[in-house]
Amino acid sequence: MALKPLIGVTACVKQIGLHPYHVSGDKYLRAVSVAALGLPVVIPSLGDLTEIDDLLAQLDGLLLTGSPSNVEPFHYQGPDSAPGTDHDPQRDATTLPLLRAAIAAGVPVLGICRGFQEMNVAFGGSLHQKVHELPGMLDHREANHPDLAVQYAPAHAVNVQPGGVFQALDLPQVFQVNSIHSQGIDRLAPGLRAEAVAPDGLIEAISVEHSPTFAVGVQWHPEWQVLSNPPYLSIFQAFGDACRQRAAQRNKR
């Protein structure tokens, strides 16, 4: 029986009591297990202490999670964040170089929410910090409701763009997604293509052009109840298939 692919999952640095912890959300780890059919392993945000090449040589895939924190805007020459904005500089120092190296090494990548934004920033794109304040744009933030089922309920449609990864996966031309973010892509990075857009024109999914393997980011949260949402599941299954292909190649060496 073939071993499950080893999929690295990024972590945020959180202060709990007097000590900092490296944490990754349960829903991401479970989705890797049940939808991508991989073995998740949490990657600590240790920045310069991370031996990126050694790490990637042992991974079959990389999942970049969402987070309450935002990428610090100096990484994309943006204006200072509003007072009180949550940042995670240790995560930035880890994920941005890790992303570039993973793509260069042919490691399958799936970026979600903050991870989607990290993909754009890592390759030279920029972000809107408050999409809801832009003229003509939807309010993409979650519902102000204590129930997660309400917060993660379908919020708007996305329209799949022709000729890309999503079309090749035979995803529906239009499908509904949740929406739990205030930031969004401003300038799309060179080498990335839009895979799906919201009704207001905001880019909601991207892929790395000319990537030899799966390299996709989505602004929404497909890990949420992934087994009961066919488009979400298709994305995770395609990611998992690519990770298994890399695992088979690694095991031949």
- The candidate with the shortest Cα–Cα distance to 165, out of 237, 226, 224, is 237
- Class of residue 64 by CB neighbours under 10 A (exposed 0-12, middle 13-18, buried 19+): buried
Indicate which residue of 12, 181, 221, 243 is catalytic: 221
d(CA 126, CA 188): 7
Helix (H, G, I), strand (E, B) or coil at 125: coil
Whether 221 sits among the annotated catalytic residues: the reply is: yes
Q: Please, are residues 216 and 112 in contact by the beta-carbon 8 Å criterion?
A: no
CA distances from 157 to 197, 202, 213 (A): 8, 11, 27
d(CA 68, CA 85): 9
d(CA 36, CA 30): 9
Indicate which residue of 118, 142, 204, 223 is catalytic: 223
Indicate which residue of 113, 118, 128, 243 is catalytic: 113
d(CA 216, CA 173): 17
Token couple for 114 = 């903050």
The H-or-E segment that residue 160 falls in is: strand 156-160
Token couple for 18 = 């007097």
- Cβ atoms within 10 Å of 4's Cβ, excluding its own: 18
Whether 128 sits among the annotated catalytic residues: the reply is: no
Which residues is 216 bridged to in the sheet?
110, 207
Catalytic (active-site) positions: 113, 221, 223
